[in-house]
Amino acid sequence: MRQFFTVIGGMGTPATESYVRLLNQRTHAHSDQEYLNYILVNDATVPDRTDYILDHSKPSFYPDLLEDIQDQSLLNPEFMVIVCNTAHYFYDQLAAATPIPLLHMPHLAISDMCERFPDEKRVGLIATQGTIQDGIYSHEIETSGREVVLGDQALQDMVTELIYKYVKEKGEVNAALYHRILQRMHDDFNVNVIVLGCTELSFAQEKAGDHPYHVIDAQSIIVDKTIALGKAFRQSEAAGKALLNQMMAR
């Protein structure tokens, strides 16, 4: 297979399924051959990312992802993407372990946010407790010159319930709970833009129906970036590399 990329997923599987479904839908193919070439690694047995970040005595997810990255590197894809925000805790180490470009989902999401909402100076962030603690998104948001708003413990408990009790355990979305989370962040913490820093929250965004809030959906954004890159490489290697260099700039 030529002109392909690799998707490292399985964290969790419903969120990865959502990514792949959006990827195929938004490609707008009119024949089998117009879809993009890719390999999906659904590594569902990767240890829980938040468990390790909060407690380093728990199993680390780094060895599993390192093995996936190194195995896929042997196939020489044009680029790779990890469809899990919290897994970017080890982004620098994983990127250094492969000659294949590895997209940085949080960076691309916040870059997109800055283009769409250039005047917003306070940005809400909802994510796993692991992503909140490791500061992946906070760093990107603050580097862009904006203030990060995290909410309170009660809001974080709601987010954790939605991610673990509903999406991870049941593979379903509690739409009312998701909408309450967005409403509280908007009304109680005075933010107009809310970053979804977890692919399970992106899954909720896809499934929960319409709402009036401005969200930055990192998974939706990485889907669009993946498609743009895949089509650029389909056009020519030079076009693909030029766009990839833009996306990799940090």
pLDDT tens readout for residues 56-74: 999 999 999 999 999 999 9
Write down the residue that tokens 């590197």 correspond to: 73
225 has a pLDDT exceeding 80: yes
Number of residues assigned to the chain: 250
Taking alpha carbons only, the member of 171, 183, 188, 88 closest to residue 136 is 88
Return d(Cα 143, Cα 167) in angstroms, integer: 31
Residue 144, both tokens: 């862009």
DSSP label of 34: G
Active site residues: 84, 198
Q: Note the pLDDT of residue 233.
A: 97
Whether 48 and 86 have beta carbons less than 8 Å apart is answered as no
pLDDT tens, residue by residue, 114-171: 999 999 999 999 999 989 988 999 999 999 999 999 999 999 999 999 999 999 999 8
Supply the mean pLDDT for the chain.
95
Whether 206 and 137 have beta carbons less than 8 Å apart is answered as no
Delimit the CATH 3.40.50.1860 region(s) of the chain. 3-103+218-246, 105-216
Q: Does domain 105-216 have CATH number 3.50.50.60?
A: no
Domain 3-103+218-246 CATH class label: alpha beta
